[in-house]
Structure 1
Amino acid sequence: MQPRHLDLLRSVSAPTVSPDGGTVVFALSRPDTAADAEVGQLWWVPADGSAPAALLTRGHRDGAPRFSPDGSLVAFLRAAPGAPAQLAVVAAGGGEPVVLTDRPRGVLSFDWSPDSRRLVLAARDPEPGRYGTVEGVGAGAEPPRRITTTRYKSNGLPGYTVDQRVQLFVVEVPDVGAEPVPAPAPGDATGDAPDASPGGAPDGAGGGAAAVPPALRLTAGDVDCTHPRFTPDGAAVTFVAARHPGRDDDLRVGAHRVRVPGPGAGAPGPGEPEEPEELVGPGADLAVREVLTTADGSVFVLAAPLGPTGRDFAGRSTVLHVLRAGAAHPLTDPASVDLGESGLEAAGADAVLVQDRVRGALHLLRVGAAGDVERLTGGPVEVTGAAAAGGTVALAVRDAGTSGDVAVLGADGPRRLTDLSAPLRATGLVVPREVEVPARDGHPLHGWVLVPETPAGAPRATLLLVHGGPFAQYTGSLFDEAQVLAGAGYAVVMGNPRGSAGYGEAHARAIAGAMGTVDATDVLDLFDGACRAHGLETQRVGVLGGSYGGYLTAWTIAHDHRFAAAVVERGYLDAELFVGTSDIGTYFTEQYFGPDPADQRARSPQSVAHLTRTPTLVVHSEDDLRCPLSQAERYFLALRRAGVDSEMLVFPGEDHELTRSGRPRHRLQRFEAVLQWWRRHLPLD
């Protein structure tokens, strides 16, 4: 794979299945360097594989499809160029979609009511006068913000969190086959069309080029209310929020339920939403991620334990719980099962589908309310999304040969309905080889090696690639970063040191309070063992990583001078500066370094940058709020003052997710700059 092949990457959303089980709908998305945007549409495919996938919609970026319970409609999120995503519906057989919202900051998620007549949605609700809600009032003309919380920003979110909280709304679904209702003409106060101006819609959601249904507000207050799900009777919506006092000082997040007025109810006035019922409160010491009520009334809760302090999050497995007698009872074992990348979908009246992180894979589990666990998939496959209906279980999958495909679960495992990465494979991909070697203390280390074919035989240089997190995992699936490096002729070693996910909670929590210790030696031990096992070059080597991987790269090159060059990307580099500037700065450093400020400084790459001799490219994004730009700026200055051959590459308008979801042209330019750095300092000629 070459950088120019970026446009061939194909990703698929979690699928949705028609109630009869016969049709699967999914969103296909891809980077488009010509448009300099991520684009995508909805596709449908027969579940029996009797026909190839076909287009259902033709929007600029359509995603997150979900069939209505009666099977007549598909709801989805549609984003026009340069605009936030809005909620839309389309007839299941195709046709012109109808947009139901014009939220100024877009719609984040949604769910169908059981009768298919309404949709609940989560959307940011900006304060009046902010974020363009008043024409002519730009960001620089807004009044000052009074900040009373230590958590007031989030990476990837333009602006602040405290003045655009996520709230829940309900909209009724119109007849998609009816003639459209025209919007009123400018200045027309007497026409027959309903008033869709911002003042006309009770929650301020109106406006735009065409009328949208009024939205009924369900929540209010200075908290984010997310992941809404209708209960099976349609009378209430469950959601996730940290509503408790003291939420500024802990990481607890609760589960709640709010009553929904019947169809046709008028929108309430300001401050009138009902007080939600608490299902899981702060006393449970959980960070709830999702809540789902199945047809038999079982309430499933996906949540990570936080310990008695409510802050002990490092390496904690996400656990599936069920509510009984007002308490959350675990159904999965956190020592061996981690649902940290899982969704939560119903699988019958009393069970759900979840995904378990296992040794660089994501396996699908079916878990019943009684605690019965059935593993539905295995092997080196990632199930990134799933849905079940009408006897069909549809999957979104990734593996070494695809960045995303749709499959259905059969007796022998997943059966593919698509082959979306065939054009990318035709460019020449390198198949990852699994490797397992012991660490210096005997702990098993697992990873992959990519060995490209070269005219000279064995590759003439080897790169160590370090993942972010730290509570994340590399997998054996198609990974554009590793493939581009291998496509340039470099052997690549990548794996999961202690602190990573996928190998049990003990493996993950080994670096809680001790980051930069065994994890730092693990990546080197894995590198050395993999090079020996596969006969790779050990004298001409380089190292690179992003975020936590940037941290380990910077820490390593200050202490080990074997590497010809390094790339430190979006790095966590200065623990002292991180506190108070990062969106997770109030808790991350203490959990991974311990509470002593002296220890935190001592284990920061910034404190040892002057020991570095390795030529280093520092790559960062201007709008990164996870690892703010100041992390890179101070580190780069320290390198230059130490006489290190170093450069800094800063991408405007990008945040911490540049390599995954940044502008396609920026992603292409980043690939080219990184390869240029390696060609200069680790040439293959």
Structure 2
Amino acid sequence: MTSETVLSEPSSVDDAGQAAQPAEAVRPATPFHSLDHYIALPRLSTLALSADGNRLVTAVGTLSAKGTEYTTALWELDPAGQRPARRITRSAKGEAGAAFLRNGDLLFTSARPDPDMSDADAGNGPVAALWKIPAAGGEGRVVLSRPGGIAAVQAARDADTVTVTAPVLAGSADEDDDAARRKARQERKVGAILHSGYPVRFWDQDLGPGQARHFVLEPAGPGAGGLDPSAAAEAADADPGLPGTIDAEPALKLLNITPDAGAALLEAGSALSPDGRTLLTGYRRPLARGDSRSVLAAVDTATGARRILLDSEDAEYQPGPVSPDNRRAVVVRELISGPDRIPDVTLGLVSLSDGGFVPLAADWDRWPHPAGWLPDGSAVVVTADEDGRTPVFLIDTASGTVRRVTGDDAAYTDVVVSPDGRYAYALRSSYRFPPEPVRIDLASGGILPLPSPAARPQLPGRLEEVETTVTANGTSTRVRGWLALPADASAQRPAPLLLWVHGGPLSSWNAWSWRWCPWILVACGYAVLLPDPALSTGYGKEFVRRGWGRWGQEPFTDLMAITDEAERRPDIDSSRTAAMGGSFGGYMANWIAGHTDRFRAIVTHASLWALDQFGPTTDVSTYWEKEMTAERAEANSPHRHVEEIRTPMLVIHGDKDYRVPVGEGLRLWYELLSRSGLPADENGDTVHRFLYFPDENHWVLSPQHARVWYSVVENFLARHVLGQETGLPAELGL
């Protein structure tokens, strides 16, 4: 494969850079008609733009040669939209975290082997190191490696300052001590972790013994040029034997600017000022009963001095981008929720000198995510969920006026602003196509698709919008969603309906999802309904308030109402329907099962079942308790209605799911077999099924397991909805 080849829809790239084809000999009608072809589709993520605006880099994930994982490579895109995409990295371990230095050099992280390091020096097991590709081209070289690895990197736009985020063992005195402690744990095969605080795990990772720290890269000794090529050249001219010559990278070391952070940087966002002098970071303050809240800290990158800029008892703060003049920053402010208060998200501007806070577009009834500033500081570019889309908006920093820039039916992520402020670059997706790179004219809203490393896959059907009105207590509420239908669905060939409930619950069906892809089921003949019930984002705060702490009421009513609306369509077969969902969607699937018999089958993935059990065992019980009082948890718990379940259910759970612990799935499974309206018979036979993944998490991400997941779902639905039998993967051993 050449570096300018577009990755076609049925192929992946193996470690040698050669096209790897799925095992099937016959090409399917679309990649969604074959799970092997689907999981081999290339996947774009993230964007990085050089300071001069001339280079744009994205990451492309492709299936490994063995088909058991995705590896990511960096590809360069043409910001002008003229030249084809060009692959610039290649390794079996993959690359991520692209960031441009102001001179155009490209930094990234990778666990690939360092060609300049011997096997003896490499240690046991790869970790992500920091690499650099010079602006003029050439081989990538390791800039810095450490036993604990590098998690993230940021580079200042107008200075040579580079910060990295990396884990440190809590008791380590310095980098040498940290390396020695890690070596001792590894050699003695110690995995134990001693905790003194909460939480102890998060989503799918055990927390500790490492804790996140922010570092600054600096020269390791006299004459070392750091990452500034001019300093390296001067050193080489003075003494050709010094670091900075053509055969050597300048020696670098890490300055820990948050040595006393403890667990304060857990899941904390950060933003480096353009002049490189200030690193803004979220910083967690411990509270009573294991709780904490995030305040906003400013860290001096030269000294590590830390100032708390924003700290409120009723809100949490996370940093957005710093203004071009380095005087203020956008801040995301989220109200701390309670049983009667939603976690309202607003923006503000904070002064880096005195912490003065000014709300920004405070009356805008959306929850924005800041992306960048216009170069003159007159406006901030943001995205926000809105009506099943995620458009790009401009907020005037003087007046707070909001202007929608993009007007299409799409969701925009990874937005970066050009240095002249004329354009923004982003990844755009919808349920019609996966993420693809585009250039946005910020004045006109015009969209220019950029030549992409991956072509749009052909879809097996069409996408339409549906909506209905729900009236309660004299108030009418619009409820909408997307409906993906087979190409041949019509009054003459009505399609069976699959209701798919999104997770979150503070979320929306608005962007392409590789994990929750409706087109695989459409290719099987189903019409897939993707509704946004109460609690969904993009419809205003009152829409969230309707379902807050009332999961089994308004969200359920909305889902049934829009299902009714879909079933009235002549191209829908209302006699053959099913429901499914994951996480909160799995909760709703369980609730639906105990409150209606209208569906022929229900699939529940990573689902909440017994809320009294879930609350104390989830990874963030403190957050859960802010919404659900004991009384509300009892009133909204699906397990109380197990005797009413008379619908075949497929239960799916991963053992490494810490957000919804596997105990929820285990208890649901036992109670389905022992107490539901469709229990196991005297021979132990049951219509229900339990798909268990011992080494998967909340989402089931590995490609081979995603294939099994969809295969079992297809099999279960075909049996109970269509009255058909489909094959199961041979790997299940059945």
| Distance in structure 1 (CA, Å) of the matches to 2:693 and 2:425 | 38
CA distance in structure 2 between the aligned counterparts of 1:299 and 1:150, rounded to whole angstroms: 33
The 5 Å alignment of 1:295-334 reads: 295-307=324-336, 315-324=342-351, 326-333=355-362
Q: Take 1:44 and 1:388, find their aligned partners in 2: how far apart are those partners?
A: 17
Moved more, 502-511 or 219-228: 219-228
Against the structure 1 CA distance between its residues 48 and 231, is the aligned structure 2 distance closer, same or farther, given a 3 Å change threshold? closer
Query: Is the alpha carbon distance of 1:131 and 1:306 closer, same or farther for their aligned partners in structure 2, counting shifts above 3 Å?
Result: farther
- Tell me the SS of whatever aligns to 1:134: helix
| Residue identity in the other structure for 2:501 | V
Q: Which residue of 1 aligns with 2:39?
A: 7
User: Which amino acid counterpart does residue 674 of structure 1 have in structure 2?
Assistant: V
Structure 1 CA distance for aligned equivalents of residues 643 and 71 of structure 2: 44
Output the CA distance in 2 between the equivalents of 1:88 and 1:321. 35
Q: Which amino acid in 2 is paired with 1:236?
A: T
Match of 2:727 in 1: none
Q: 1:523 to 1:250 in 2, by over 3 A?
A: same
Which residue of 1 is the match for residue 651 of structure 2?
618
- Find the partner of 2:440 among 400, 409, 418: 409
Aligned to 1:221: 261
SS of corresponding position for 1:555: helix
Q: Partner of 1:197 in structure 2?
A: none
Which residue of 289, 301, 323 maps to 1:260? 301
Corresponding residue pairs, total: 630
Query: Mind listing any 5+ residue stretches in structure 1 that lack a counterpart?
Result: 180-191, 195-209, 262-272
**C-alpha displacement of 1:526:** 0.8
Secondary structure of 1:587's counterpart equals helix
Distance verdict in 2 for CA 1:104–1:505, change over 3 Å = farther
Aligned-residue offset at 1:366: 2.5
Q: 1:443 aligns with which of 477, 492, 500?
A: 477
Equivalent residue for 2:565? 529
5 Å matches for 1:387-398?
Answer: 387-391=416-420, 392-398=423-429
Q: 1:143/1:61 Cα in 2 relative to 1: closer, same or farther (>3 Å)?
A: closer
Shift of 1:367: 2.7
Q: Distance in 1 between matches of 2:210 and 2:438?
A: 38
| Alpha-carbon distance change, 6 to 140 in structure 1, aligned in 2, over 3 angstroms | farther
Q: Do the aligned residues in 1 keep the contact of 2:385 with 2:538 (CA within 8 Å)?
A: yes
Residue 683 (str. 1) matches residue 692 (str. 2): no
Helix, strand or coil at the partner of 1:234: coil
* CA-to-aligned-CA distance 1:351-390 (integer Å, 9 cap, x gap): 4321111111111122343234332212211111111223
Counterpart residue type for residue 493 of structure 2: A
Backbone CA RMSD of aligned residues: 3.0
Distance 1:483 1:102 in 2: 42
- Residue 202 of structure 2 is matched in structure 1 by 154
8 Å contact kept, 1:7–1:31: yes
Letter in 2 for 1:252: R
Given the superposition, is the C-alpha separation of residues 541 and 122 from structure 1 closer, same or farther in structure 2, using an over 3 Å criterion? same
Distance 2:511 2:98 in 1: 28
What does 1:136-155 align with in structure 2 at a 5 Å threshold? 137=185, 142=190, 145-155=193-203
1:366-445 pair list within 5 angstroms? 366-370=394-398, 371-391=400-420, 392-410=423-441, 411-419=444-452, 422=455, 424-425=457-458, 428-441=459-472, 442-445=476-479
Pairing 1:470–2:505 present: yes
Partner SS for 2:76: strand
Q: Name the aligned partner's letter for residue 254 of structure 1.
A: V
Superposed, which structure 2 residues align to 1:135-284 within 5 Å?
135=183, 137=185, 142=190, 145-157=193-205, 159-161=206-208, 163-172=209-218, 173-174=226-227, 213-219=252-258, 220-225=260-265, 226-242=268-284, 244-246=285-287, 250=291, 252-261=293-302, 274-283=304-313
In the TM superposition, residue 434 of structure 1 has moved relative to its aligned partner by 0.6
Contact persistence 1:8–1:423 (CA under 8 A): no
Give the residue type in structure 2 aligned to 1:160.
Answer: L
* Larger mean Cα displacement after TM superposition, 556-565 or 403-412: 403-412
Note if contact 2:390-2:510 (Cα within 8 Å) is conserved in structure 1: no
Deviation at 1:582, TM superposition (A): 0.9
Deviation at 1:495, TM superposition (A): 0.9
Q: Find the partner of 2:548 among 512, 517, 520.
A: 512
CA contact (8 A) 1:572 1:627 kept: yes
Q: Any idea what SS the aligned residue of 1:13 has? A: strand
Q: Structure 2: how far apart are the matches of 1:138 and 1:297?
A: 43
* Stretch of structure 1 that moved more, 497-506 or 248-257: 248-257
CA offset digits 1:65-100 (Å, max 9, x no partner): 222223x21222324498454332212343222233
Distance 2:556 2:188 in 1: 44
Structure 2 distance, partners of 1:290, 1:569, is 33
The correspondence of residues 473-512 of structure 1 with structure 2, limited to 5 A, is 473-475=508-510, 477=512, 481-512=517-548
SS in 2 for 1:303: strand
Aligned mates of 2:295, 2:455 — CA distance in 1: 44
- Mapped to 2, the partners of 1:125 and 1:534 lie a distance apart of 61
Query: Are 1:583 and 2:619 matched, yes or no?
Result: yes
Within 5 A, what are the aligned runs for 1:452-463?
Answer: 452-454=486-488, 457-463=492-498
Q: Give the conservation status (yes or no) of the 8 Å contact 1:9–1:30.
A: yes
Range that drifts further, 319-328 or 522-531: 319-328
What is the distance in 1 between the residues matched to 2:358 and 2:578?
Answer: 47
Q: What's the CA shift for 1:23?
A: 2.7
**Equivalent position SS for 1:431:** strand
Cα pair distance change 1:512/1:607, threshold 3 Å: same
Equivalent-residue separation in structure 2 for 1:131 and 1:512 (angstroms): 47
Q: 1:514 to 1:124 in 2, by over 3 A?
A: same
1:644-673 residue CA offsets vs partner (Å, 9 max, x unmatched) = 421211112211132xxx111111111111
**Higher relative contact order at CA 8 Å, sep ≥6: structure 1 or structure 2?**
1
Give the direction of change, closer, same or farther, for the CA distance of 1:56–1:493 in structure 2 (3 Å limit).
same
**TM-score normalised according to structure 2 size:** 0.79
Contact 1:257 1:276 in 2 (8 A): yes
Q: Answer whether contact 2:286 2:292 (CA < 8 A) is retained.
A: no
| Counterparts in 2 of 1:224 and 1:23: CA distance versus 1, 3 Å | same
Deviation for aligned residue 1:514: 1.4
Distance, in Å, in 2 between the alignment partners of 1:66 and 1:366 is 24
Contact map agreement 2:549 2:632 (CA 8 A) in 1: no
Q: Give 3-state SS (helix, strand or coil) of 1:424's partner.
A: coil
Q: 2:318 maps to what in 1?
A: 289
Residue 232 of structure 1 and its aligned partner are, at CA, apart by 3.4
Does the CA contact (< 8 Å) of 1:11 and 1:405 recur in 2?
Answer: no
Distance change >3 Å, CA 260–CA 313, structure 1 → 2: farther
> Structure 1 residues 193, 607: closer, same or farther in 2, change over 3 A?
farther
Counterpart-to-counterpart distance in 1, 2:454 and 2:480:
26
Decide which of 358, 367, 386 is 1:358's aligned counterpart.
Answer: 386
Residue equivalent to 1:134: 182
Distance 1:217 1:30, change over 3 A: same
Report the CA distance between 1:454 and its aligned residue.
4.8
1:221–1:613 distance in 2 versus 1, CA, 3 Å: same
Q: Which runs of 5+ in 2 are unaligned?
A: 1-31, 114-124, 219-225, 234-240, 244-248, 680-686, 725-734
TM-score if structure 1 supplies the norm length?
0.85
Please report how far the alpha carbon of residue 624 of structure 1 lies from its aligned counterpart in structure 2 after TM superposition. Answer: 0.3
Deviation at 1:598, TM superposition (A): 4.1
Segment drifting more, 523-532 vs 477-486:
477-486
Cα distance, 1:109–1:424 mapped onto 2, change above 3 Å: same
Q: CA deviation at 1:453?
A: 3.3
Q: Which AA in structure 2 matches 1:320?
A: L
